[in-house]
Amino acid sequence: MTDKSKQASDSPREGQPERSVGRPSRGESDPEVVSRATRRRFTAKYKAAILREAERCTESGSLGAMLRREGLYSSHLASWRKQESAQGQAGLAPKRRGPKPKPQPSAREKQLEREKRTLEKRLAKAEAIIEFQKKVHALLEIPLSRPENVEDDS
């Protein structure tokens, strides 16, 4: 090896980061890195305090400095201001994520459902009895007579 080739292999090429001794390479996992990021949650009190502090930022660049210090984005302020103007302090409270829970049926609805089930059972029994009677009449060859007070459906 010549001196120039040795120097080229020892120093990193342009555009590639220099590897530090003791740091894991790209293939190894860093034990300090969280495998799954957690969603940040802000309390209503914190949101209100940040909004008040943002209102006090009058100098050029002070709002950006405050956002960097707190690790926030301007979109946070915009959405929090919108929530506060629409619903007041209650609008800043955290919302439950996910689908809304199904409303619980009232006592009257529960009673009506029970009555409906019992009536459906009675109807099924009555229909079974009628079908049985039709089969008995067919086997015994007894003609079925229609009651005179029943109107035709056709």
pLDDT band at 44, cuts 50/70/90? confident
Contact 70, 64 (CB under 8 A): no
Rounded Cα gap, residues 81 and 88, in angstroms: 9
Percent of the chain residues past pLDDT 90, beyond the cut: 34
Using a cut of 0.75, tell me whether the model's pTM lies above it.
no
pLDDT in tens, 29-40: 566 766 787 888
Q: Please, which contacts does 81-84 make with residues 24 or more away whose CB atoms are closer than 8 Å?
A: 81/51, 84/47, 84/48, 84/51
